A and B are shown apart, each in its own frame.
Chain A
Amino acid sequence: MDLQQDYFSLFGLPQGFDIDKDRLEQAYRDCQAQVHPDRHAHRSDAEKRVSMQWATHVNEAYRTLRKPLLRARYMLSLRGVDAGIETNTAMAPAFLMEQMEWREGVEEAREGGDVSDLEHMRQRLDLHERELHQNLSGQLAEDVTDGELAADTVRRLMFIEKLQIEIDDALEALED
């Protein structure tokens, strides 16, 4: 195994946003079995350190590829595209307005104890998230050279994720 290999190659998967989850799981388990530190218990300290490093690398690769948003961000980084997560504050005004309305809606539903409203919002968001994932699949295709569209979708998904957390928090608070 080679630490410089990208995560897709590490697991023997084709590089793409749409991923075969079963294949990923299987490849992860195979890799893990190879590098697990316990397998190297009888070896020297140096060898144990290397195998520990490997185990960490494999876990990180798995965690990254398993989550669609992390996977997309990783693919952008492989292409040298900065998604501007920390710096790009200029989202489309209509999108930001919509985010504002969502957040207001969640706040109102939380204060009003409206569980069904929150659940309904969660469903709409999940649907929207799936649409954005579908967009990413095309935007991150191998023959697409401009990464900016995918970067924009990634930024949008970051907001969607935040909203989902807010809704889940609200639902949890109302359950108590």
Chain B
Amino acid sequence: MAYSEKVLDHYENPRNVGAFAKDEAGVGTGMVGAPACGDVMKLQIKVNGQGVIEDAKFKTYGCGSAIASSSLVTEWVKGKSLDEALDIKNTAIAEELALPPVKIHCSILAEDAIKAAVADYRKHQEAKGE
């Protein structure tokens, strides 16, 4: 299958690959998987005192589209508030990367990864507040 140029760019030069320590302050970790292709994605956000995502990292085992989708969203979430990050829709990811219909689930995976990371961050914050 032919990948779009943007997919190739993110695939060949993925942004923000890596990990934060899971229990580091302000870090939220989202783990998701796509059964259809067996892809697994870990996406982490680092949130500052003002509730803004100041950094993001990912590690994805999957096809080019899955890697590109996660690479792209780590760029997109930086500088966003949590609610803004939750507004990122898979359709926007798919559009930006010109994903073909059979690869739409890669963009869904990336959207769900952000949601999971934000939920994990919030869970930690609540636990601290108690």
Chain A minimum-CB-distance residue to B104: A86
When distances are taken between beta carbons in the complex, the residues of chain B under 8 Å from A44 are none
Complex CA gap A90/B42 in Å reads: 12
Interface size on B, residues (CB 8 A): 19
Enumerate chain B residues within 8 angstroms of A83, measured Cβ to Cβ. 35
A10-18, A108-116, A131-139, A159-167: which one contacts chain B? A159-167
Looking at A26-34, A54-62, A94-102, A119-127, the stretch in contact with chain B turns out to be A94-102
Cβ of B116: which chain A residues have Cβ within 8 Å of it?
Answer: 90
Closest to B34 in A: A89
- Does B38 count as interface, using CB distance less than 8 angstroms? yes
The answer to whether A158 touches B36 (Cβ under 8 A) is yes
Contact between B31 and A97, CB atoms less than 8 A apart: yes
Q: Separation in Å of the A85 CB from the closest CB of chain B?
A: 5
Cα-based distance from A100 to B58 in the complex (angstroms): 12
- Check B31–A158 contact: CB distance below 8 A: no
Which residues of the partner chain A approach B59 to less than 8 Å between Cβ atoms? Answer: 100
Question: B31: which A residues are within 8 A, CB to CB?
Answer: 93, 96-97, 100
Q: Does B40 contact A (CB under 8 A)?
A: yes
- What's the nearest-Cβ distance from chain B to residue A136, in Å? 15
| 32-60 of chain B: CB within 8 A of chain A | 32-40, 42, 59
A-B contact pairs, 12 of them (CB 8 A): A85-B35, A86-B108, A89-B32, A90-B112, A91-B32, A91-B33, A96-B32, A99-B61, A100-B42, A158-B35, A159-B40, A163-B38
List chain A positions with a Cβ less than 8 A from chain B.
83-91, 93, 95-97, 99-100, 103, 107, 154-155, 158-159, 161-163, 165
Q: Which residues of B contact A (CB under 8 A)?
A: 31-40, 42, 59, 61, 105, 108-109, 112-113, 116
